[in-house]
Amino acid sequence: MSRTPPARTPPTGTAATTVTRPGPLARLLSRGRRTVPPRPAPGAALAEAADLHVRLGQRDVLAGIDLTARAGEVLALVGPNGAGKSTLLGALAGDLPAASGEVRIDGRPVGDWSAPELALRRSVLPQSAALSFPFPVEDVVRMGRAPWAGTPFAEADEEAVATAMAAAEVTAFAARPFSALSGGERARVALARVLAQRAPLLLLDEPTAALDLRHQELVLRICRERAAAGDAVVVVLHDLGLAAAYADRTAVLHDGRIAADGPPAEVFRDTLLSRVYRQPVEVVPHPRTGAPLVVPVRAAQRPGLPDGPPA
């Protein structure tokens, strides 16, 4: 059923004389029929998996997944390598087909949306970002605005690109070619592209993998800010400390199934994590915040060896 888009106030601070010619991708997307989605209600289900099964080749990668991502929350997907986290994210994005079960985006089966309509409702950050041509950073970020070409929201392109680059701290090298950036810089540019897209559902696959400590914290603060603004954020993380500190909910995946789903303080338990990761751990509360800290249980030092690194 069509929905009437909300009234839009043109963004402030954008020069009236600025005209940006849409690129080929924007022109292609603008040809499809689209219904611009309204802002989601707090707690609305923006992505749902129901009894989801996914097969890759001859292997069942996901089996019986039931999961919902809601507006206003950060949902972290954690688990060991090969548990199915990235596959689940790809299925939620509509990029991987379900062998059985169903994925719904904004209340409709994901296959019922056209590509242009889907791009207005969810944005995806893959594990790695690669481009064949040396596009300037600003142009890469502007690619995130392609879904809005031909809609009233296109007039916000310049403001959206500038705001996204500032949030990801990439404005300083906006003119540099993407191919000349470090791995961490590329990761932040890719995140800025996702932010510029301004879809209400953000699907982020290991966004902190290539980042230093400062920028890991920056990315998770951005996730919290987007959730506070009403978006749903689903993020794949390997750092359980980041998940505990920033996620509203955590789904622990193990062998293609969800072993636990809930607030990190309830889900992160010694016995569960030790079994899932096949590594003994202790879970202790942070002395100041109370957030769970997951500490590996390490073998005692051999006699005669120092307890720490050399001075």
Q: Model confidence over 34-43: pLDDT tens digits?
A: 778 899 999 9
- Give 308's DSSP letter: S
| Whole-number Å distance between alpha carbons of 188 and 165 | 9
**Sequence-separated (6 or more) residues with CB below 8 Å from residue 153:** 8, 36, 198
Burial of 95 (0-12, 13-18, 19+ CB in 10 A): middle
d(CA 19, CA 16): 8
Amino acid at 46: L
29's torsion region: left (phi>0), alpha (psi -120 to 50) or beta? alpha
What distance in Å separates the CA atoms of residue 262 and residue 255, rounded to the nearest whole number? 18
Specify the pLDDT at position 238: 97
| Residue 250 CB neighbours (<10 A) | 25
Of 256, 218, 286, 285, the residue nearest 61 (C-alpha): 256
pLDDT given at position 34:
74
- The span from the CA of 186 to the CA of 170, in Å, is 9
With 0-12 / 13-18 / 19 or more C-beta atoms within 10 angstroms meaning exposed / middle / buried, residue 15 is exposed
Q: Which tokens in the block code for residue 246?
A: 């920033």
- The strand pair at 292-296 and 281-285 is best described as antiparallel
pLDDT of 305 reads 45
> Which residue, among 234, 292, 289, 283, has the nearest Cα to 263 in the 3D structure?
292
Question: What pLDDT is stored for residue 130 in this prediction?
Answer: 76
pTM: predicted TM-score of the whole model, two decimal places: 0.86
Positive/negative CA dihedral, 211, 217, 220, 222: negative
Counting as low any pLDDT under 70, the low residues of the chain are 1-33, 300-311
Tell me what pLDDT residue 32 has: 52
Backbone angles phi, psi at 260, to 5 degrees: -165, 150
- Sign of the CA dihedral 196, 189, 105, 26? positive
Q: What local confidence, expressed as pLDDT, does residue 147 receive?
A: 96
